Structure 1
């Protein structure tokens, strides 16, 4: 599978380095140094992924990230100080947040995971700080959504919050990937979200994860589907 990637980076040396690295792994790469050119490249070439390298954009650049995310799967290479806020970026459509200190192997893995499985990826620091991040914010009512989700859809949603790919979910539940895709589609529709990342962020922020976790565990214990 040939993967086409656009890199948005305003530092020429870093952009050239990323381009050389990705080409070594047989990726087709195009580097742009401005937001307008990155936007135009995404429209013209429809890349499989768009890598945004901080500090050209950060988690705080919500509008710009959301705009680029509507054009392609955005992978944000972020500085460590923003790692714990990764879910803010995911909520605005970004598919993955990865530290600039990550290895080349990790970057290639994230790119292929995002492109092939349409999965989301967030740093561990973001997952462990979710409670603190949202505890002071009023949670939107999602009780009606929990009631509308089937037992299997609730289980799927919990697996999505762990960043598991469709293939891994299918293997874990002993179902086909097509079945998983259907369940994921239904979960997103019922939650009123357009991406897996948004669904996970909303599920955490609203308390939906806590609302469905215990019933799902009980169902699994008794062998219910």
Structure 2
């Protein structure tokens, strides 16, 4: 059973999402919040598996609430999916860097939204296609000479770097296992070590690091990874 916390300042949207999840098998709506402050308090008290949160909230923003929640939560930390009505929301990049596990539009069809929540609860990530394009375009606009490889990336083993590169391409653990001819459990072990060594909160942050470090070049995500 996946426990949800729904955060949106619009009561109709909040109630609609709650009704949708309640009617679907495998989901339990643990709580609802109308503000970022309420979300922080309820996340600590209820310890949901997944939080669906509007990126634009009155007072404390969705991004600030995300940072507070992930910064204070005990393991396992909740997966946070940011919701917006804008496919070109200027806060997309900031949300991903802060640790959002997914980013979906509020007009996402119900069945796709629930499938996304299930996928994210299992440790994967999912973005609306337009959001993914915007993310790649953000990196593409940055000159490669301005991108510096984080020193911590050098602490990764060869195989850990391979896994990070494939995660950056958007592959699932199953797809990475097939590509590297190893078990899914082995992929998870390597990726958990990557997350720990790089102090990452989510799979989405790993994608950001893969691009920012130059491990993947915008426009050539399937190219062989760049060597140190």
TM over 0.5, shorter chain: yes
Q: Residue 179 of structure 1 is aligned with which of 162, 181, 186?
A: 186
Residues 1:200 and 2:207 are matched in the alignment: yes
Return the alpha-carbon distance in structure 2 between the equivalents of residues 193 and 54 of structure 1. Answer: 20
Does structure 2 conserve the Cα–Cα contact (< 8 Å) formed by 1:8 and 1:31? yes
> What residue ranges of structure 2 are gaps of 5+ in the alignment?
none
Distance in 1 of aligned mates of 2:55 and 2:153: 37
Which of 188, 191, 194 is residue 195 of structure 2 equivalent to?
188
Distance 1:147 1:124 in 2: 31
User: Separation in 2 of the partners of 1:22 and 1:12?
Assistant: 15
Deviations 1:104-163 (A, max 9, x none): 1111111111111x1222232233334541334774521756655444323312221233
* Distance across 2 between alignment mates of 1:190 and 1:142: 14
Decide whether the 8 Å contact of 1:84 with 1:123 is kept in 2.
no
More helix by share: 1
Separation in structure 2 between the aligned mates of residue 143 and residue 191 of structure 1, nearest angstrom: 9
What is residue 134 of structure 2 aligned with on the other side? 129
Equivalent-residue separation in structure 2 for 1:126 and 1:96 (angstroms): 10
The TM-score, its normalising length taken from structure 1, stands at 0.79
Residues 167, 207 of structure 2: 8 Å contact kept: yes
Contact 1:143–1:208 (8 Å) recurs in 2: no
Q: Tell me the secondary structure at the aligned position of residue 204 of structure 1.
A: helix
Partner of 1:7: 6
Q: Whole-Å Cα distance in 2 between the matches of residues 189 and 36 of structure 1?
A: 28
**Correspondence for 1:161 among 162, 168, 190:** 168
Determine if the alignment matches structure 1 residue 34 to structure 2 residue 41. Answer: no
Q: Give the direction of change, closer, same or farther, for the CA distance of 1:86–1:150 in structure 2 (3 Å limit).
A: same
CA distance in 1, matches of 2:221, 2:197: 14
Deviation at 1:54, TM superposition (A): 4.7
User: What is residue 43 of structure 1 aligned with on the other side?
Assistant: 44
